[in-house]
Amino acid sequence: MPDQIKVVDKLGLDRILTRISHEILEKNKGSENLVLMGMRTRGEFLAARIAKKIKQIDEIELPLGILDVTLYRDDFRTSLKQPQVSVSNITFDINGKDIILIDDVLFTGRTVRSALNALMDFGRPASIQLFILIDRGHRELPIRADYVGKNIPTSVYQEIKVKMEEIDGEDSIYLVELNKK
């Protein structure tokens, strides 16, 4: 087992999501034209939780889509493992919508780049805003988040592991030390 430190606990995660939900509503002056787009896998559950919070605040049910960006990745030639694809599930028209794109960790920016390309194939949204739970730095592309849960500067020998009740059985975020080679 590699060394890991818990950097956010259950309560902390909930607070972040509450704050971000308010920020989203505030920045967009309401929720009328908003749709939430969670990126598989954990972005999907983050999006669902934000939807729930926004409903509590604004009594409106935002459309919730799930985006799988595997087909748009640029690392097929370099990665050793074949990524498993799954289905995107977007049951509404994204044309003219303000999309809140949601993912757990922002690192090089390449996954977000894939997501932007993927979204363009579904239609022409009015805007795309990015919510990232943890920004760990090390960007390789000119991408920044509109909403950041928490900045955690890391080294390349570290990893951020986000765990969520829905699939991991607990709500917490860890900073993991990888073995230096």
Partner 1 sequence: MPLSSRHLLGLQGVPKDDIQLILETANTFREVLERPIKKVPTLQGKTIVNLFYENSTRTRISFELAEKRLSSDTINFSQSSSSVKKGESLKDTIRNIEAMKIDMIIIRHSAAGTPHYLTKICNANIINAGDGIHEHPTQALLDMYSLKERFGKLEGLKVCIVGDVAHSRVALSNIYGLITMGAKVSVCGPSTMIPRFIEKLGVNVTYDIDEAIRDNDVLNVLRIQLERKAGGYFPSLREYAKYFGITQERLDNNKDITILHPGPINRGVEISSEVADGNNQIILHQVTNGVAIRMAVLYLLGTLN
Interacting residues with partner 1 (CB under 8 A): 68, 70-73, 76-77, 79-83, 85-89, 117-118, 120-123
Starting at the edge strand that comes first in sequence, how are the strands of the sheet with 172-177 ordered? Answer: 4-8, 172-177, 158-163
Smaller CB separation from partner 1, 52 or 73: 73
Cβ 100 to partner 1, closest distance in Å? 20
Find the shortest distance in angstroms from Cβ 148 to partner 1: 28
Task: Select from 4, 57, 62, 55 the least CA-distant residue to 37.
Answer: 62
How is 17-45 classified by DSSP, letter by letter? HHHHHHHHHHHTTSSTTEEEEEETTHHHH
Q: Compare residues 29 and 81 and give the one whose CB is closer to partner 1.
A: 81
Tokens of 142: 């000119």
Do residues 160 and 154 lie in contact, with contact meaning Cβ atoms separated by under 8 Å?
A: yes
* Nearest to partner 1 of 75, 165 (CB atom): 75
In whole angstroms, the minimum distance from the beta carbon of 69 to partner 1 comes to 10
Nearer to partner 1, 12 or 123 (CB): 123
| Residue 176 contacts residue 1 (beta carbons within 8 Å) | no
Q: At closest approach, how far in Å is the CB of 1 from partner 1?
A: 24
